[in-house]
Amino acid sequence: MKILMKRELLRAVIGLCLIALEDGARAEVVANGGLEPLPGDTFKSVMPGASYAGWRSVGSGDIEFTTDQTAVPGGFFGPMAEGSGCVDLNGIRYQGAVSQMLTNKPGVDYAVCFAMSGNPGVLGTPRRGTKTMDVTWGGTNVGSFVFTHLPTDTQTNIRWEYHKIYVTGTGLDEIRFTSTSGTYNDAGPVIDDISVSPLPDTYLAVRVSQVELCWNSLSNFTYQLQYRSMLTTNLWLPFGGPVLGIDGVICTNDTVVPGELQKYYRVIRVP
Ligand SMILES: [Ca+2]
């Protein structure tokens, strides 16, 4: 029951991110945003300056691709926010960073969405101090993020928090996730499920939702408003009932239904 509740919560948190991204056409701007290791690897330490699985290790310390097949005291590391792998930005030598050059469309706004957690440390040697991380886009800091541990956090009970930031493409931009967490050499902020999706263009639509139909009338006469359209096979049909003239202008309204075919009106005097 407890596991089920955790999964439900995770699904709800993931849902928040996906709903927001449904606005934009989802495109794979980022490669291996799921931070999955290469086939055959269940764990991979990547030294500064080295590249691995689409990402480059660019911090002062190494980073670790960790998976749900990475054995830790008490079981396996996880669960992941997505797939079976994630990255701990503090490998073994304090703050690391990962980066990727992203080809994008200049001037287009993008939503960057990712899941963040923290490595709570090996069972019996907790490292539950707050984990912090900066995200840069094209070298500019676009967000600083904090993950606060609960006393119950363990490496077999990873909790994820989703974040979303907005950036603008210049054609080719570096995205970088940098640990600013220096409390522990080997337990830093953990990231997973990175997506970069274009936002839809903002547009303005002008629509007429109603027309006003007015005609001049004389008392002692009765008038009948009529309409026709493709739906009436172009036959004139009454619009409302007969109306007595008032020696003045009579007006009424008709609703214009979105997508409705062209509609014609006329008014006739009835005996
Ligand atoms: Ca993953």
CA 77 to CA 248: how far, in whole Å? 82
- Listing DSSP states for 167-197 in one string gives EE--SEEEEEEEE---S-SS--EEEEEEEEE
Q: What is the pLDDT of residue 6?
A: 44
Q: What is the CA radius of gyration of the chain?
A: 31
- Listing DSSP states for the chain in one string gives -HHHHHHHHHHHHHHHHHHHHTTSPP---STTTT-PPPTT-SEEEE-TT-EETTEEE-SSS-EEEEETTSEETTEES---SSTTEEEES--SSS--EEEEEEE--TT-EEEEEEEEEE---STTS---S-EEEEEEETTEEEEEEEEPPPTT--TTS---EEEEEEEE--SEEEEEEEE---S-SS--EEEEEEEEEEPPPP-------EEEEEEEE-TT-EEEEEEEEGGGTT--EESSS-EE--SEEEEEEEE--TTPPPEEEEEEEE-
In the reported structure, the alpha carbon of residue 155 is separated from the centroid of ligand 1 by a whole-number distance in angstroms of 15
In the reported structure, the alpha carbon of residue 208 is separated from the centroid of ligand 1 by a whole-number distance in angstroms of 48
| Mean pLDDT of the residues in the chain | 91
In the reported structure, the alpha carbon of residue 202 is separated from the centroid of ligand 1 by a whole-number distance in angstroms of 32
pLDDT digits (tens, 9 = 90+) for 116-170: 999 999 999 999 999 999 999 999 999 999 999 999 999 999 999 999 999 999 9
Give the confidence band of 259 by pLDDT, cuts at 50, 70, 90: confident
In the reported structure, the alpha carbon of residue 83 is separated from the centroid of ligand 1 by a whole-number distance in angstroms of 4
pLDDT digits (tens, 9 = 90+) for 12-47: 444 456 544 444 445 579 999 999 999 999 999 999
Report percent pLDDT > 70 for the chain.
90
In the reported structure, the alpha carbon of residue 35 is separated from the centroid of ligand 1 by a whole-number distance in angstroms of 5
Q: Which residues pair with 161 in a beta bridge?
A: 116
In the reported structure, the alpha carbon of residue 158 is separated from the centroid of ligand 1 by a whole-number distance in angstroms of 13
pTM confidence score:
0.73
pLDDT digits (tens, 9 = 90+) for 209-227: 999 999 999 999 999 999 9
